[in-house]
A and B are shown apart, each in its own frame.
Chain A
Amino acid sequence: MSQIEIKGVSYSYPVKEGHSLKALKNVSLAIDKGEFVVLAGMNGSGKSTLAKLLNGLFTPSAGEIFIDGISTADEENTFEIRKKVGMVFQNPDNQTVATIIEDDIAFGPENIGVPREEIVVRVDEALEAVGMSEYRTRTASKLSGGQKQRVAIAGVLAMRPDVLILDESTSMLDPNGRKEIMDIALKLNKSGITVINITHNMDEATVADRVVVMRKGRVAMDGTPKEVFASGLLEACGLTLPPVTQLSRSLADEGFVFGDVVTDEDELVEEICRQLK
């Protein structure tokens, strides 16, 4: 059994009376513990809806989702599931509850009734994990976007989740902030946390174990980054190849020969040098 099992899930938003918008159509997916999955797709493809279904913020209109074998549809499990599946959202300004950073990180553990002595330990660890220890007593509103998102990640880590979902958490950040968040996500993944990064930035997809591309509420592609980039279907899903892969494509037009899809900059450099020798 996989850690996350999505079985035939559909979801509709009520738009206005009698009308609803089908955001997800019969999606099935299984994600294993420790995977680093990028969930990609253009705006409106259903990727964020899927994320909100994974920790019980929404429940499926049809089908079922299991986290470690527990169904998200059962209200009794809601908080058990939210403890397991932590989520960081898009806007850095709209997810801190408390003014002071350490107070905010303690919010989750307080909610689930963690004893005080342990909250102290967890807050320390979470701050350490995102490299924000020296800011613990600062005001959240004075931080940069990247720092705010690091605090948001720490707030989730303090609940000791098994899965971390980044719901377009880098899309409002500048390149430095984006890099900070990606580095932390990779580090956490190495320590055993399953990471699901929802994004439309294909540079972020190159470091994933697996890329799932959504299109109009369905899974359009599911494979390793190389498989997905090689498919030639990315543009049809409203996405673009990462710059390095794009370059290798136009180099192929110039007469270079690449056996495999190139996603890594150094790999590309190596290959070019070899062919120019």
Chain B
Amino acid sequence: MFKDVAFGQYYPTNSPVHRLDARVKLLLTLLYVAAIFFIKSYFGFMLTTAVLIIIVALARLPIMSVLKSVRGVLFIVVFTAIINLFFIKDGEVLVQSGSLIITKNGVHTTIKLVLRLVLLISGASLLALTTTPVQLADGLESLMSPLKLIKVPVRDIAMIMSIALRFIPTLFEETNKIIAAQKARGACFDTGNIFARIKAMLPVLIPLFINSFRRADELAFAMDARCYNATDKRTRFKKAKLGWGDLIAFVFIAGYFTVILLDRYYFRTVGIDIDSMIFGELL
């Protein structure tokens, strides 16, 4: 249980992707996520996959580190896929057995849904893998700074985010320790129905919460002792500066986004159907 959670785990390689400005990466990730929801054709998915692979290669990340984050939510992906596969009933019927009907439409929707989810999660994990939580928090703070005008505590929000990310590995480690300790006293987490299972988790969740509060208390002392909130004129150790790399990255992702939009709204209206050009009769 809870093994090797990659989310929130910065993977240092000092690549050009790592060196990009966090604000740019945040915005481009948003653009990428938006693009995924505009994808309509298999060509779009192939293009997105290619873009993703290029980024992973540039970032010098092992492909496993990206796939790991997908594994974390595999259950949700499989679950939604199955729901889709069996509940979409319109279109040409491929398989029918009793009340079980699988349609061609259902298969396509399911494949696209799975691709969408996997690409979405991989893309988002790329941000976490190549950007330190501090950079992320600073980037967010900078992007949200206009909100300071309407008294939103932007800095505190950014700090909370950064600390949450920092503590994810610590808390997972702790969770595993508590699970092991309760198992050693005969606790069983994988039998019974969903309610029995939730109840079985209490011996893990209660100490975890109590310990987290204790940690939070100690951390608050440690932060106070280091003069947190001493001045409004907090300085920055690392100042983000936009560089050529950021411009290139922006052009690259913006170009990709444009192609996805064109594929959805324009190509077909002028008679270009890339999917059938690639796959022909297969679809």
Interface residues of A (CB under 8 A from B): 52, 55, 57, 79, 82-83, 86-87, 89-91, 93-100, 102-103, 106-116, 119-120, 123, 137-141, 152, 155-156, 159
- Partner of A108 from the list B162, B221, B227 (CB cut-off 8 Å) is B227
Q: How far is the CA of A119 from the CA of B169 in the complex (A)?
A: 28
Contacts of B222 in A (CB 8 A): 87, 89, 94-95, 97, 152
In the complex, which residues of chain A have a beta carbon less than 8 angstroms from the beta carbon of B229? 111
A94-B219, A97-B219, A100-B10 known; A112-B170 Cβ under 8 A: no
Question: Ordered nearest first, which 9 A-B pairs have the shortest CB separation?
Answer: A106-B237, A95-B222, A108-B226, A94-B218, A79-B230, A111-B227, A87-B225, A103-B134, A141-B169
A86 to B230, CA, bound (A): 14
Q: Which interface residue of B14, B163, B238, B239 has the most chain A CB atoms within 10 A? A: B238
Decide if B237 touches A82 in the complex (CB within 8 Å). no
For residue A55, which residues in chain B have a CB less than 8 angstroms away from its CB?
225
Residues of A within 8 A of B153 (CB): none
Q: Do residues A110 and B223 form an inter-chain contact, with CB atoms below 8 A?
A: no
Contact, CB under 8 Å: B225 / A93: no
Given contacts A99-B10, A111-B234, A113-B233, contact A57 B227 (CB under 8 A): no
Q: How far is the CA of A87 from the CA of B218 in the complex (A)?
A: 12
- Once the chains are docked, how many angstroms separate the CA of A87 from the CA of B224? 10
State the CA gap A102–B227 with chains docked (Å): 17
Complex CA–CA separation, A90 to B219 (angstroms): 11
What are 23 A-B pairs with beta-carbon distances under 8 A? A82-B225, A83-B227, A87-B222, A90-B218, A91-B218, A95-B222, A97-B163, A99-B132, A99-B166, A102-B237, A111-B231, A112-B227, A112-B230, A113-B230, A113-B233, A115-B235, A116-B235, A116-B237, A138-B12, A139-B12, A140-B166, A141-B170, A159-B226
Contacts of B233 in A (CB 8 A): 113
Taking CB atoms, residues of chain A closer than 8 Å to B169 are 139, 141
Chain A residue numbers with a CB within 8 Å of B162 are 97-99
B234-250 CB mask vs A (1 if < 8 Å, else 0) is 11111100000000000
Give A34 to B176 CA distance when docked, in angstroms. 44
B262 to chain A, nearest CB (A): 39
The one of B10, B163, B237 that contacts A119, using a Cβ cutoff of 8 Å = B237
| Chain B interface residue bracket vs A | 35 or more
Interface-centre pick from B14, B133, B134, B222 (highest chain A CB count, 10 A): B222
B29 to chain A, nearest CB (A): 18
Kindly identify which residue among B14, B218, B227, B235 contacts A89, using a CB–CB cutoff of 8 Å.
Answer: B218
The answer to whether A109 and B235 touch across the interface, beta carbons within 8 angstroms, is yes
> Chain B contacts of A87 at CB under 8 A?
222, 225
Alpha-carbon separation in the docked complex, A156 to B226 (Å): 7
Q: Is the CB of B218 within 8 A of A95?
A: yes
Contacts beyond the supplied A100-B134, A107-B226, A116-B235: 6 A-B pairs with Cβ under 8 Å: A91-B215, A98-B132, A99-B10, A108-B227, A110-B235, A137-B12
- Number of A-B residue pairs, CB cutoff 8 Å, is 118
Cβ–Cβ contact B10 & A97, under 8 A: no
Inter-subunit contact A95/B219 (CB<8 Å):
yes
Smallest CB separation, B8 vs chain A (Å): 8
Q: Which of B14, B234, B238 contacts A113 (CB 8 A)?
A: B234
B230:A111 contact, CB within 8 angstroms: yes
Residue in chain A with minimal CB distance to B231: A113
Across the interface, do A159 and B227 meet the contact criterion of CB distance under 8 Å? yes
For chain B, residues 104 to 121, give those with C-beta under 8 angstroms from any C-beta of chain A: none
The answer to the question of B87 belonging to the interface, with a C-beta cut-off of 8 Å to chain A, is: no
A113 to B235, CA, bound (A): 5
Point out the residues of chain B lying under 8 angstroms from A139, CB to CB: 9-10, 12, 169
In the complex, what's the smallest C-beta–C-beta distance from B263 to chain A, in angstroms? 38
- Are B134's CB and A93's CB within 8 A? no
**Chain A residue with Cβ nearest B133:** A99
CB distance from A257 to the nearest CB of B (A): 48
Contact residues in A for B265 (Cβ distance below 8 Å): none
Residues in A whose Cβ lies below 8 Å from that of B226: 82, 86, 97, 107-108, 111, 155-156, 159
Contacts of B9 in A (CB 8 A): 139
B228 CB-CB contact with A under 8 Å: yes
Q: Do B134 and A116 touch (CB < 8 A)?
A: no
**A99-B225 in contact (CB<8A):** no
The answer to whether A98 touches B133 (Cβ under 8 A) is yes
Kindly provide the distance from the CB of A89 to the nearest chain B CB, expressed in whole angstroms: 6
CB distance from B27 to the nearest CB of A (A): 22
Output the residue of A57, A97, A108, A115 with the most chain B CB within 10 A. A97
Which residues of chain B come closer than 8 Å to A119, judged between CB atoms? 235, 237
Contacts of A94 in B (CB 8 A): 215, 218-219, 222
Instruction: Tell me the B55-103 residues at the A interface (CB within 8 Å).
Output: none
Q: Could you say which residues of chain B place their CB within 8 Å of the CB of A108?
A: 226-227
- Using Cβ atoms and an 8 Å threshold, which residues of chain A touch B219? 94-95, 97
CB distance from B227 to the nearest CB of A (A): 4
